[in-house]
Amino acid sequence: MNTIIVPPLGSKKQSSTKKILMIIGIALGIVFLMIFSFGFFLDSDSTVEVDEFSVLKLVLPSQVSEYGSSKGLFDDSEPLGFYEILETIRKAEVDPRIKGMYIPVRESQMGFVKLEEMLVALRSFKSKGKFIYAYMETASRSDYMMISIADSIFMPKEGLAELSAPGVSALFFKNLLAKVGITMYVQQFEEYKSAGESFSQEHFTPPAKEELLTIIQSRANRMYEIISMQRKLPMSAVKTAFDIGTYTADSLKAHSFIDGIAQEWEVKDKIRYRMNALRKKETSKTDTLETVSMVDLEDYANAECEEFDKSFADKSGSIAIVSAVGAIRSGTNGQSNPFDQGTQEIASGSLIKDLKHAYENEDVKAVILRIDSPGGSVIASDEVWDMIQSLKKKKPIYASMSDVAASGGYYIPMACDTIIAHSQTITGSIGVISIIPLFGDAMTKLGITMDTLSTGASSQDMNLMLPMTESRKKKFYDQMYPIYQRFVSKVANSRKMEFEQARSVAKGRVWLGSDAHQRKLIDTLGGIELAISLAKKRIGIPAEKRAHIVSYPKVQDPLSMLLSSLTGDNDSDEEVSIRKVVSAMLGFSNMEQMINGMPKEIRTGLGYAFNVLLMSKKEQIVALMPYLPQF
């Protein structure tokens, strides 16, 4: 019989094995560094050439976010954040070499506010006499809303578009949890603070239904208005088309939602014909172009344009845009939600670090906090709030609210000098919730009994195996109420209101930016461009000059990522890093494929529920907005 002898922990044999593995790892790291460095230096001198009579090809990333995600080690693509995309369009607008734009729809996800701000840039592009052609094989509501700005929209005969009237669906887990004996005790301040109702209710409560219906109805009407204006159609006809549900190319053509049925190569031919006509008109040349020069968005972002470059003010008067995107938690950056792969988050430590870098940069004279967040941790939100209060004594700081700035996502920008929100920004949700899982029934189902010994009246207060008595409920209420009061008091102080006036617009209620403006929760309505204009005026940059923008967080280049992975010097939580390694070993990639294959509504609901539970596990009281409507 063979015997396998396992050396004890810390033995010499194990130590030698570790050393050998470490040496192999270092050697492989050096090889990777050499290979990567060689490719990096070969590519470092590449420049982007733009031909005369070119077309900008606008292909948006699958997820349009405020800042570009980190590049992969073997991915040489240049991730563009939302403002960088706007800047690239602005550059093409003044570039005489760019005559038009081609938008092939690739089903990118973009929030309603960013979509409206994008349309402003595209309208400005067209106002300079430049054309826009669009082509879609499939499209969502937001895709179509954006390309409705185009001069001409084409679709192949077998194309499909999901153009249905906006609505909301949410997952409720109360009955599922009851089947396994788990009860969720939810305490919320106040009636509109419905983020925890996914676990305590079977359907929307009247206050939750009221606030969500207000949002989706307003956005639906705004969408109909935009499409009506851009396609020159009666608004009633647009609404009727969406009520019916328009999907096929033939029906879209019948409703005048597209201009023609064509394959993509035919669309490119139409662009070539138009370009030849422009070229003949502007140069009197009689020869024709066989192909049209199309420059990709990412490439053009790095191209030089004299007309655009000379419009900038001096770099010594730069403005920093610090992006804060996602759910808020304590610590430093690191992905933790398996249902939201690639989703960005606000880690208080990382955001504070970015703010400090912006304030320490001597060229930066003003800071814009660009926030897109449904909230999260009260502790983390308050930590960032305190830091902004300290930093704004040195430089002015403006808050620019993107698609969502609610609950903790509103708490943070309250500390800024000026708050700017778009009319469609989801704003407010001033309130807190506590979600406590109770496992007593589950233990009973499993035949487990429990006995307790106490030294005082509070010994069993946090015992999750015991039912929630009235006295325990009162204790939790008494613990939470001062936190809610402090939140409302900070709103009252920052917005110059009386406490009861602030409370009347709080109660956990979500407002659209236009309603929030009427209720004095924000200072002015506008997007990121207005925030920059206000900051320019404050620091003395002439209105006709563009400000140099310094963006945070910085996109980490592949070489830095490799060095970080070799040295262990990175911003991710240790537990998250370990989780990723273990998950990979256990075949987590297959789980990712399964999750990504779920319908968007289910994935969104599970991701939201996971975030709520994760936050509730770390702290009893959180500031998270109710279910986030997806447009």
Least confident of 53-62, 189-198, 390-399, 595-604: 595-604
Least confident of 64-73, 133-142, 290-299, 406-415: 64-73
pLDDT at 590 over 80: no
φ, ψ at 170 (rounded to 5°)? -135, 155
pLDDT at 5 over 60: no
Alpha-carbon distance of 624 to 626, in angstroms, equals: 7
**Which H, E and C letters describe 139-180, residue by residue?**
ECHHHHHHHCCCCEEEECCCCEEEECCCCCCCCCCHHHHHHC
Alpha-carbon distance of 338 to 418, in angstroms, equals: 36
Higher per-residue pLDDT: 536 or 628: 536
**508-532 pLDDT, tens per residue?**
999 999 999 999 999 999 999 999 9
* Rounded to 5°, angle at Cα 351 from 346 and 357: 160
Report CA-CA distances (Å) from 275 to 59, 116, 125, 308: 20, 28, 17, 23
Identity of the amino acid at 228: S
User: What pairs with residue 148 in β-bridges?
Assistant: none
Q: How many CB atoms lie within 10 A of CB 82?
A: 27
pLDDT at 10 over 80: no
pLDDT at 420 over 80: yes
pLDDT of residue 400: 98
Alpha-carbon distance of 271 to 288, in angstroms, equals: 13
Higher per-residue pLDDT: 557 or 227: 227
pLDDT at 373 over 70: yes
pLDDT at 328 over 70: yes
Q: Residue 334's closest CA among 531, 514, 593, 570?
A: 570
pLDDT of residue 62: 84
CA 26 centroid distance within chain = 37
Assess contact for 92 and 294: CB atoms under 8 A: no
Q: Residue 429's closest CA among 444, 410, 448?
A: 410
Residue 428, H or E segment: strand 426-428
Higher per-residue pLDDT: 70 or 319: 319
Alpha-carbon distance of 90 to 88, in angstroms, equals: 5
pLDDT band at 4 (very low <50, low <70, confident <90, very high): very low
Number of residues written out for the chain: 631
pLDDT at 587 over 60: no
Assess contact for 443 and 465: CB atoms under 8 A: yes
Report CA-CA distances (Å) from 262 to 131, 146, 163, 172: 18, 20, 20, 44
pLDDT of residue 620: 60
Alpha-carbon distance of 540 to 533, in angstroms, equals: 10
DSSP β-ladder status, 260-261 and 152-155: parallel
Residues carrying CATH 3.90.226.10, the chain: 54-164+245-307, 313-430+479-577+586-624
pLDDT band at 546 (very low <50, low <70, confident <90, very high): very high
Structure tokens at 218: 């307003």
First to last CA, the chain: 66
Alpha-carbon distance of 99 to 96, in angstroms, equals: 7
DSSP β-ladder status, 364-373 and 375-377: unpaired
Residue 539, H or E segment: helix 528-539
pLDDT of residue 627: 57
pLDDT of residue 30: 52
**475-511 pLDDT, tens per residue?**
889 989 999 999 999 999 999 999 999 999 999 999 9
What is the rounded average pLDDT for all residues in the chain?
84
pLDDT at 212 over 70: yes
Least confident of 161-175, 195-209, 470-484, 599-613: 599-613
pLDDT band at 606 (very low <50, low <70, confident <90, very high): low
Higher per-residue pLDDT: 599 or 1: 599
pLDDT of residue 107: 80
Alpha-carbon distance of 239 to 227, in angstroms, equals: 10
User: What pairs with residue 185 in β-bridges?
Assistant: 436
Higher per-residue pLDDT: 466 or 574: 466
| Across 145-150, average pLDDT | 97
Alpha-carbon distance of 598 to 604, in angstroms, equals: 9
Query: CA 251, 255, 259, 261: dihedral to nearest 10 degrees?
Result: 10
Least confident of 60-74, 127-141, 226-240, 428-442: 60-74
pLDDT of residue 2: 42
pLDDT of residue 581: 45
Least confident of 50-54, 307-311, 416-420, 617-621: 617-621
Share of the chain above pLDDT 70, in %: 77
Q: Domain 54-164+245-307 sits in which CATH superfamily?
A: 2-enoyl-CoA Hydratase; Chain A, domain 1 (3.90.226.10)
Q: Residue 330's closest CA among 73, 576, 147?
A: 576
pLDDT of residue 619: 65
Least confident of 394-398, 590-594, 618-622: 590-594
pLDDT at 7 over 70: no
| Across 437-462, average pLDDT | 89
pLDDT of residue 458: 87
| Across 310-316, average pLDDT | 93
Higher per-residue pLDDT: 22 or 522: 522
Is domain 313-430+479-577+586-624 classified as CATH 1.10.10.10?
no
pLDDT band at 621 (very low <50, low <70, confident <90, very high): low
